[in-house]
Amino acid sequence: MIVGVLVEISNKAVDRIFDYSVPCSLKDKIKVGIRVLVPFGKMTLEGFVLEVKNDKTFDKELKDILNIIDSDIVLNHELLELGKKVQKKTLASLISCYQVMLPKALKAKHGSNVAVQFDTFYCLRQNINLDQLKFNDSQLKIIEIVRQKKLVLRKELCAISTSSLNTLIKKEILEEVKKEHYRRNYANVAFFKHQLTENQKKVVSQVTLNSPQTYLLYGVTGSGKTEVYMEVIDYYLKQGKTSIMLVPEISLTPQMVQRFQERFGSKIAAIHSGLSDGERYDEWRRITRGEASIVIGARSAIFAPLKNIGIIIIDEEHSDSYKQSNSNPRYHARDVAIFRSRYHHCSIVLGSATPSLETMARAQKGVYSLLELSHRVNGKEMPRVTVVDMNKEMKNISGNLSKELIKAIQNTLDRNEQVILLLNRRGYSSFVMCKNCGYTFKCPNCDITLTYHKSSNTLRCHYCGFGEKRYFECPKCHEKSLSNLGLGTQKIEEELNTLFPTCKILRMDYDTTSRKGMHEKMTTDFRDGKYDVLLGTQMVAKGLDFSKVTLVGIINADTSLNIPDFRSSENTFSLLSQAAGRCGRGEREGCVVIQTFNPNHYAISFAKNHDYFSFYMYEMNVRRILKYPPYFYLCNLKVSGKKSDLVLREALKIKSELTSALTNIIILGPSTASVFKINNVYRYNIILKYKTFDNLYEVLEKIDEHYKTKSQVYLEIDFEPSQIL
């Protein structure tokens, strides 16, 4: 028997199937989709069996596979085909497309680190005549419990008497049973269901009763989209079908899991990067075994190995977290959802209060079906928004909070209500500069200033992780003239503690949530009223639902507006609208204070009025003039390496090749990336704008093939990039 094996090695030059023979002892265990251990040169590698071939067609001697890793199939037929589609869409290596589907425990070099866990239970041995034996009181109690429950956990029996338990085991009255133990438990809690409004019922009917298609559910914040999702999932669950529900942020997942568990109990499984390797491995196995029929999670959950999918839902579909941008394959979860929906003949629901322009444009053209929830479920108006012009305000204040926002916070605290404050920049200050000579502290590896973190008194690079202690004097002129400039969440926290000394403040950013379980703990503590103010980066702006929050303050609305990217206005409008939607979701009315140095910018003006469609029309006109999506497709070619001159020469060669081979395509660059150097690697961008694909993929495949074997220059191809930096 001959098998074709794709080895788990990232080098594009060996991204192909290699043939191996199968020893007679392993022939009965070989299946397409399992992992095997194979010799590869001087190495021993893991690989996926992708083909079983007729050995009569081979006349050359092949190496034997060494062993079989899995007894069960790891990649079923659908996932194998899905990997090929993702490869074709992204031009990534096929092995990377398969690796992204699996938990770390099923990837090379990780499998031995995560073991299956077991619990020890005891049952009565068969054919034991207990009436002829004598027992003490604790032994009798153990026997009676085991008799009633049939199978009892060891620690429950040890709570009665460990010595009595051991005696019963030694006398062979109790028999030990090992059962696999999952690291996360989903109790079968009581069924909990909200009554739907008429508009919600209408949306549910349209999704469940029509033929499979892709829907855009445009619903204002607080309109009850989550209840619609659960009702749709419940419908398909009763049809014997499974469901995938994606959310954009890890911080949203615990809250979403809790709501779904209240409705569906142990039928759910969660997949996101906040889980340990072991937990992700357990969840993956629960799904493959059919023990979970609803998968909730972030981007990678789109690859969940479910069968018979009835619905795929992508909540907050506008979020750029659904696009994998930093590593191959550079896929978008929406594209993978479309691939899977065609395989399963199921519908997709894309939900958002601020849909991306591309998605809304497709809905307006009829490519997607548009559904709307235009009112909040409690019938309340959207929160009142006040825009504060910080150009005027900075002349009258000493800190970073306007008088309007300080007053609003105090009034909210006096009413025993809660506040959310958004500043989309962590750390204490953006950079440290010497007022005497102008020296600024920069990362030695990246073309970026270091951010000051006061709690650890360190200067850190948020790109490569470099860190060093903050000096008390300038290393250049040796004067004690260092000043912390710019703004971060730590600095605002300090200012809040000064202004409101009795206020309990919870800071939620990457620095405070990096430890496992902190997202869930923080959101639970805030919901339970242990804190008055939740201060954080954009993770506090999406999806969270706290009934006591009546004030949202955006401390610097210009943070995302000033990013040099064509989506900056759209991202700003979305972030402000989503943040504003966190307040007034309960019985009490909400208000929003937006601080900005650009009060007349259209993104801020439309966000103030909760006017998505006016923003959409205005921004679409800008995109049309500048030839950006959705009027044109984009592809970004990033050329990088450790020698700047060499990288530039190669980038110019690539541009020349593109210019001669492609027609009707706008080619921009090569130009330096916004952050030119990251971790001592220099980066140039070449941007392609086009309306039709024609021979684009063929040309890019040829160029990509050329750079597979290059060791000093790297080429990354990113179709439909979420941002170009």
Query: Predicted confidence band at 53 (pLDDT cuts at 50, 70, 90)?
Result: confident
Q: 575 and 666 share a domain?
A: no
Q: Within this chain, do residues 533 and 568 fall inside the same structural domain, yes or no?
A: yes
Q: Report d(CA 355, CA 620) in Å as an integer.
A: 13
Residue 701 has pLDDT above 90, yes or no: yes
Q: Which has the minimum average pLDDT: 57-71, 100-114, 136-150, 407-421?
A: 100-114
Q: In the chain, what are the helix, strand and coil shares in percent, each to the nearest 5? A: 35, 25, 40
What pLDDT is stored for residue 662 in this prediction?
Answer: 94
User: What's the pLDDT tens digit per position in 91-133?
Assistant: 999 999 999 998 887 775 544 455 667 888 999 998 888 877 8
When divided into structural domains, the chain yields a total of: 5
| pLDDT exceeds 80 at position 716 | yes
Is residue 475 assigned to a domain?
no
For the entire predicted model, the pTM comes to 0.88
pLDDT in tens, 653-676: 999 999 999 999 999 999 999 889
- The model's pLDDT over 464-473, given as tens digits with 9 standing for 90+, comes to 889 999 888 8
CATH number (domain holding residue 320): 3.40.50.300
pLDDT at 260 over 50: yes
Checking if the pLDDT of 684 tops 50, the result is: yes
| Domain identity same for 507 and 525 | yes
pLDDT at 189: 61
If you average pLDDT over residues 49-54, what whole number do you get?
A: 89
Burial class (CB in 10 A: 0-12, 13-18, 19+), 163: exposed
Average pLDDT, the chain: 90
473: Cα within 13 Å, side-chain hemisphere: 6
Four-residue CA torsion sign, 179, 184, 190, 194:
negative
Q: Tell me whether residue 210 is exposed, middle or buried, using C-beta atoms within 10 angstroms of its C-beta: 0 to 12, 13 to 18, 19 or more.
A: exposed
Predicted confidence (pLDDT) at residue 644 exceeds the cutoff of 80: yes
Q: How many CA atoms lie within 13 A of 37 on its CB side?
A: 10
The answer to whether the beta carbons of residues 553 and 409 sit under 8 Å apart is yes
Same domain, 33 and 92: yes
In a domain? residue 465: no
Looking at the fold, whether 173 and 312 belong to one and the same domain comes out as no
User: Which of 82, 113, 144 is where one domain is finished?
Assistant: 113
pLDDT score of 206 more than 60: yes
Q: Where are the alpha helices (DSSP H) in 333-488?
A: 333-344, 357-365, 390-393, 403-414
- Clarify whether residues 353 and 263 are in a common domain: yes
Query: Does residue 354 surpass a pLDDT of 90?
Result: yes
Residue 162 located in a structural domain: yes
Phi, psi of 363 (to 5 degrees): -70, -40
Query: Which is more confident, 54 or 547?
Result: 547
> Model confidence at 191, in pLDDT bands (50, 70, 90)?
low
* Residue 189 within a domain: no
Examine the pLDDT at 75 and tell me if it is beyond 70. Answer: yes
Neighbours of 64 (CB within 10 A): 12
Q: Which of 51-65, 141-155, 183-197, 501-515 shows the lowest per-residue confidence on average (mean pLDDT)?
A: 183-197
Per-residue exposure over 535-562, b if at least 16 CB sit within 10 Å of its own CB, e if not: bbbbbbbbbbbbebbbbbbbbbbbbbbe
Q: How far apart are CA 164 and CA 711, in angstroms?
A: 67
CATH code: domain of residue 642: 3.30.70.600
Residue 111 has what pLDDT?
A: 46
Domain region containing 279: 198-373
Mean pLDDT of the region 406-425? 94
Pick the last residue of a domain from 156, 181, 206: 181
316, part of any domain: yes
Q: What angle do CA 697, 701, 703 make, to 5 degrees?
A: 120
Q: What is the pLDDT of residues 312-348, one digit of tens each?
A: 999 999 999 999 988 899 999 999 999 999 999 999 9
DSSP-based three-state secondary structure for 283: helix
Task: Please state, in angstroms and rounded to a whole number, the distance separating the CA atoms of residues 243 and 238.
Answer: 11
pLDDT tens-digit map of 575-622: 999 999 999 888 889 999 999 999 999 999 999 999 999 999 999 999
In Å, how far are 243, 314, 375 from 349, measured between CA atoms? 11, 6, 19
In a domain, 550, yes or no: yes
Asked whether residue 412 falls in the same domain as residue 553, the answer is: yes
Q: Domain check: are 410 and 535 in the same one? A: yes
Residue 266, pLDDT above cutoff 90: no
Burial of 247 (0-12, 13-18, 19+ CB in 10 A): buried
The predicted structure's pLDDT at residue 429? 72
Q: Do 214 and 282 fall into the same domain?
A: yes
The answer to whether residues 225 and 264 belong to one domain is yes
Concatenate the DSSP letters of all residues of 402-444 into one string. Answer: -HHHHHHHHHHHHTT-EEEEE-S--SSBSEEEETTT--B-B-S
Q: Is residue 122 part of a domain?
A: yes
Which residues is 124 bridged to in the sheet? 174
Q: Are residues 253 and 358 in the same domain?
A: yes
DSSP state of 381: P
| Share of residues in the chain with pLDDT > 90 (%) | 64
For range 391-401, the mean pLDDT: 88
pLDDT digits (tens, 9 = 90+) for 138-178: 999 999 999 898 889 898 999 999 999 999 999 889 999 98
How does DSSP assign 582-628, residue by residue?
TSS-SSS--EEEEEES-TT-HHHHHHHTT-HHHHHHHHHHHHHHHT-
Structure-token match 């591309």, residue found:
358
Supply the CATH number for residue 88's domain: 3.40.1440.60
Residues 411 and 501 in one domain: yes
Q: Which residues pair with 468 in a beta bridge?
A: 459
Q: Which of 129, 154, 181 is the last residue of a domain?
A: 181
- Domain-located, residue 666: yes
User: Distance between terminal CA atoms of the chain?
Assistant: 50
pLDDT at 161: 94
Q: What is the dihedral of CA 244, 249, 250, 255, to 10 degrees?
A: -70
Decide if pLDDT at 538 tops 50. yes
* Strand-pair category, 2-7 with 43-53: antiparallel
Mean pLDDT, rounded, for 5-28: 88
